[in-house]
Structure 1
Amino acid sequence: MTISAWAPLRRSAFRALWLAQFASNIGTWAQTVGAQWLMGDLGGSALQVALVQTATTLPVFLLVVPSGALGDILDRRHVLISGQALMLAGAGGLMLLAGTDRATPASLLGLLALMAVGQALSMPSFQAIQPELVSREEIPQAALLNGVNMNVGRAIGPALGGLLIALAGSEATFAFNTISFLGVLIVLARWKRPSDHRPLGTEHIATAMRTGARYVGSSPLFRRVLARLSLFIVFGSGLWALLPAIARGPLRLDASGYGVLLGSVGAGAIGGAFVVPKLLRSMSKNRMVLFATWLYAAATSAAVLTQSFALVIVAMLLTGACWIATLSTFNATAQILLPAWTRARALAYYQLILMGGQALGAVVWGAIADAYGLRTAMIVPAAVMAVAALVATKWLPLNDRPLDVSPAIYWGEPPELDEKEAGPVLVTVEWPVAEENEDEFIAAMQRVGRARRRTGATMWGLFRDAEKPGTFLETFTIATWQEHLRQHIERGTVVDQENQEVARALASGDAHVRHMIFAEPRKPD
């Protein structure tokens, strides 16, 4: 059955939050212009003007990973409300200070940093709730629509910010942003999200962060998404950093002309939302991402190879469509691969690469533009990105087969133990395997081992018994008994169960499981 690009908007919760986020994205970009303008009005130095960008990005970069852990161990709706409330407080504070002429460079940077903390708190949870708002089949369309939301907000926001400043001053941009956050909070307050099922209670945040890092490290399919995202973002982000220089330099445009270029990118993103679902019906996501990357590279190169305003507008339309096609595919693939229990903390690494890659690319390609010119700074990364996409399609293909990551309890009952924090725990599983099945069994157990590590094991190994032919010993350690119980009850998925059943089918008898707790010496009497 063909799913419309706009199908997620038929779901009331998704539609309400999407519209609220759209207003918020516009407000955020409008506020960015207002903050930079206000810093100039306050007599801020060049460094202080530059610190506006630092204040809005550095807290996100530092806090997004722990915020992802919070999104998994607490109610995501409450985490989102807390993040949006911080941003509302920051925007409201800026509105009041600017409106009463009490703003200073330090207070401006401080309130912007407060808003960035709220953004860091919100980003992973916002991504993680998308599968809760739409069906699994609609996740790619939801990712597309969220990409349209961001890109159109990026196009409209700066122009609106300039208009508001001209009509009512910088405080008008802060007022608009305050109202937009209030709208998001109202939607979140009215959303009736089902309660999370945590039979073993809430994890400690430090443990949750370690578990999230271990999950990412033991999930090769998710790591492929992160690798592909890195290659695209680092080499493709130069456009966003250098587009103002292209507008002022070769094209000799004023602010309104630059606004037209931004609007063209947003229009291309909207067009991409229509085109991508149709393309995915006729080709794999890997082929579509490859073609979109090549077209993006060609379009960004064309933007500095011509001085025709009309041709550059066409190039910007294409970049907008290709940008959203590529990033929405990466995002949808990531969401589908992740089970609910770790979705926010794993997606925090996705956001870390997305933001860090754009920041790194802006610095690198900006420096190259200063040293060697705009053409070099646009064409060289475009060429590298095109080659890297071809290599990555072969060696790092995106997952195209459906994986069922819904919860499953398939472990046997663990023994009773009162000391939940006791550990480390060593689990051994003795597997009898017929000689003709040994090679297949070893291969199957590699997938089982990755599942053990994803769900909490700190070490895993498979050993062949040198004295007892046909016997294999699987061993893995977990930090505490409580973490092992989470493996049993909270973290298993259907695909993990299927992989274990494949290994079990290759065994020639029942596996024998033993649980051992680290033996600490008794304290002397």
Structure 2
Amino acid sequence: MSGSFAPLRQPVFAVLWAATVLGNTGSFMRDVASSWLVTDLSASPAAVAMIQAAGTLPIFLLAIPAGVLSDILDRRKFLIFIQVMLASVSISLMILSHLGLLSVSSLVALTFLGGIGAALMGPTWQSIVPELVEKQDLKSAVALNSLGINIARSIGPATGGFLLAAFGAAVTYGADVLSYIFVIAALLWWRRPQDADDVLSERFTGAFRAGLRYARASRELHVVLIRAVVFFAFASAVWALLPLVARNLLEGDAGFFGILLGAVGAGAIVGALVMPRLRQKLDADQLVLGSVLVTALVMASLALAPPKFIAFVLLLLLGGAWIVALTTLNGTAQAILPNWVRGRALAVYLTVFNGAMAGGSLGWGLIAQELGVPTTLLVGGAGLVIAGLVMHRIKLPIGEADLTASHHWPEPLTIDPVEHDRGPVIIQIEYCVSRDSRPDFISALTRLSAERRRDGAYQWGVMEDAADPERITEWFMVESWAEHLRQHHRVSKADADIQAEVLRFHSAAEPPKVTHLLAIEAKHQKAFKP
């Protein structure tokens, strides 16, 4: 076994991958049952869209905290807890459905709880993949995870629709419960090594702030996020209204709805398989624009209530376009993120993605309630094309920088050991720069400031000596001594290149002088009062 399937040679990865495919299949079965049941309970488009929003809103709210938790908790135990939680949700749905007690409010509430589980699981599962395979197989493992999700997407909805039509919602939810049992068994079987003690390990609040600081300072991440918001906000219309399209426009039953969702999954699998060839001919921006145009075409065509076979083909196209856009945007985000913040920054991406889906679903549901489903799909498709053409001018980052840690900063010199939680800390770097070189130096230093902020600084500035204008001091502040020590391990080779460019303008024979200033603790401040 080689190439794309090489990670399956690792027994732990193979077992957990298979269990995850089974678990995701069960989740899609649950979702198709819930999406269809709400059309029985209410004819309101807003109520139907609320199910979509209830499943994605928790990921919008909790993805970032989930990313932090995945870094500071035992990931295996955390995943087991999440699976038990998700099984409990499906058990509740099964019992209420069997007793005939399901209502729109209870369905939305339990879907929301299921969304919480999905929010907690996403970053955690992504974080364990590097533990399961060799480094050279990591990209293939990520691709296999995407393939597994789409296998589940192609099997789950169709199976769920069949079970729903043949045996009812209680049996469909019960099948989902069984899938979680297999996932929990696989996680119990996995003997994950204990995490090594790390004196610089982050606590929740500090890790949370560090992740947000990075996201706020990364201009490249901002481009990916705004492109994702625009695409998913408009494209969410077809997902929010698809149950009504299947039932009212196409006059199908629950089984047909499952087949349509299965077509999306099948199209996504085909899209994933042809992606390598597409990447050879098209860049990331062209791939996203192509996905925009295909998705808009599908939305407009569904608004015309085509024959069922044509609708099936359209959903195949939608699945292919969706996976191309999703993979391109997610892959770009992965490429621009260093390892130390990958989970948290990807959680920011998931927050934006699911926020756009949740907000878009609610918005399109309300619009459909006033204008009708066909008109809403046409409006959404037209808006997607216009927004896609505008966003095409904002180019996605290439993501070719070397983000591995450079470890080129020397350890700071101190007379006595410094407590890790002591802070804040000011770091000053004194440069000697000629007047002629100053404009270029300031330009390079400004680029360096972004790196300082991404790696942990919450304030940054540059000042000159009034008595000697060629003596320029760069300064930045970090929360604590431990956070500054972490900066030493976060600086990438790409950042080192920027620093080398700044140092070219330093004219003195000695290296720039670096000073570390520590805040005086409150218990000692009274000694300095007059």
Asked if TM exceeds 0.5, the reply is: yes
Matched residue, 2:447: 447
Instruction: Tell me what 2:505 maps to.
Output: 506
Report deviation, 1:236: 0.6
Q: Distance in 1 between matches of 2:266 and 2:26?
A: 19
Deviations 1:123-146 (A, max 9, x none): 112233445556778766655544
Distance 1:109 1:306 in 2: 28
Shift of 1:209: 0.9
Moved more, 399-408 or 83-92: 83-92
CA drift of 1:406 comes to 2.2
Going from structure 1 to structure 2, the CA distance change for 1:330 and 1:109 (only over 3 Å counts) comes to closer
State the shift of 1:335 in Å.
1.9
Moved more, 74-83 or 259-268: 74-83
Which amino acid in structure 1 is aligned with residue 444 of structure 2? A
The match for 1:409 is 407
CA distance in 2, matches of 1:49, 1:386: 25
Instruction: For 1:439, give the aligned amino acid.
Output: P
Name the residue aligned to 2:209: 210
Contact 2:460 2:476 survives alignment (8 Å): yes
Q: 1:79 to 1:113 in 2, by over 3 A?
A: same
Distance (whole Å) between structure 1 residues aligned to residue 516 and residue 312 of structure 2: 65
Query: 2-side partners of 1:364 and 1:113: how far apart?
Result: 18
Preserved contact between residue 425 and residue 477 of structure 2 (Cα < 8 Å): yes
Asked whether 1:240 is paired with 2:239, we answer: yes
Q: Is the 8 A contact 1:65 1:345 kept in 2?
A: yes
Q: Distance in 2 between matches of 1:177 and 1:385?
A: 35
Local SS of the residue matching 2:514: strand
Aligned to 1:222: 221
- Are the aligned partners of 1:131 and 1:335 in contact in 2 as well (CA < 8 Å)? no
Matches within 5 A, 1:3-402: 12-33=11-32, 56-91=55-90, 97=95, 115-130=114-129, 145-165=144-164, 170-191=169-190, 199-305=198-304, 307-395=306-394, 397-402=395-400
Structure 2 counterpart of 1:400, one-letter code = I
Displacement of 1:497: 2.2
SS at 1:430 equivalent: strand
Deviations 1:406-462, CA, capped at 9 Å, x for gaps: 233222221244332222111111112234443332232223211211121110112
Q: Name the structure 1 match of 2:434.
A: 434
Deviates more, 1:181-190 or 1:345-354: 181-190
Query: Does the 8 Å contact 1:432/1:472 carry over to 2?
Result: yes
Q: Residues 53 and 357 of structure 2 are in contact (CA less than 8 Å); yes or no, is this contact kept in structure 1?
A: no
Alpha-carbon distance change, 322 to 48 in structure 1, aligned in 2, over 3 angstroms: closer
Any idea what the Cα deviations from partners look like across 1:487-516, whole Å, max 9, x if unmatched? 124x23222223222222332231111111
Do the aligned residues in 1 keep the contact of 2:52 with 2:358 (CA within 8 Å)? no
Amino acid at match of 2:525: R
Deviation per residue, 1:93-143 (Å, 9 max, x gap)? 666x56996988799887766544433221112233445556778766655
CA–CA distance in 2 between the matches of 1:407 and 1:420? 21
Question: Counterpart of 1:482?
Answer: 482
1:468 Cα deviation from its structure 2 partner: 1.9
1:387/1:37 Cα in 2 relative to 1: closer, same or farther (>3 Å)? closer
After alignment, is 49-58 or 263-272 more displaced? 49-58
Corresponding residue for 2:457? 457
Query: Structure 1: where are the runs of 5+ without partners?
Result: none
Q: Who is 1:522 aligned against?
A: 525
Range 227-236 or range 477-486, more displaced: 477-486
| CA displacement, residues 235-289 of structure 1 (integer Å, 9 cap, x when unaligned) | 1111111122222333233333333322221221111012111010122222222
Distance 1:113 1:303, change over 3 A: closer
Tell me, yes or no, if the aligned pair for 2:291 and 2:325 is still in contact at 8 Å: yes
**Are the equivalent residues in 2 in contact too, given 1:145–1:273 (CA < 8 A)?**
no
The answer for unaligned runs of 5 or more in structure 2 is none
Paired amino acid for 2:406: A
Q: 1:407 to 1:362 in 2, by over 3 A?
A: same
Distance 1:320 1:166, change over 3 A: closer
Q: 1:79 to 1:436 in 2, by over 3 A?
A: farther
CA distance in structure 1 between the partners assigned to 2:342 and 2:279 by the alignment: 25
Structure 1 residues 50 and 384: CA distance shift in structure 2, 3 A: closer
SS at 2:392 equivalent = helix
Secondary structure at the residue paired with 2:393?
helix
Secondary structure at 2:398's aligned position in 1?
A: coil
The letter for the 2-side match of 1:448 is L
Secondary structure of the 2:459 match is strand
Instruction: Provide the rounded CA distance (Å) in 1 between the counterparts of 2:244 and 2:69.
Output: 40
8 Å CA contact retained: 2:429, 2:512: yes
For 1:302 and 1:48, how far apart are their aligned partners in 2? 24
Distance 1:147 1:232, change over 3 A: farther
Deviation by residue 1:273-306 (Cα, 9 ceiling, x = unmatched): 1211101012222222222222222222222235
Mark the CA change 1:142 to 1:374 in structure 2 (over 3 Å): closer, same or farther: farther
Between 1:382-391 and 1:228-237, the stretch displaced more is: 382-391
Identical aligned pairs, as a percentage?
37
1:212 Cα deviation after fit: 0.8
Number of equivalences: 519
Secondary structure of the corresponding residue to residue 473 of structure 1: strand
Task: Determine the C-alpha separation between the residues in 2 that align with 1:333 and 1:448.
Answer: 22
- CA 1:159/1:306 → structure 2, altered by over 3 Å: closer, same or farther? closer
Conserved 8 A contact 1:31-1:177:
yes
Structure 2 distance, partners of 1:306, 1:88, is: 37
The 1:462–1:182 alpha-carbon spacing in structure 2 relative to 1, beyond 3 Å, is farther
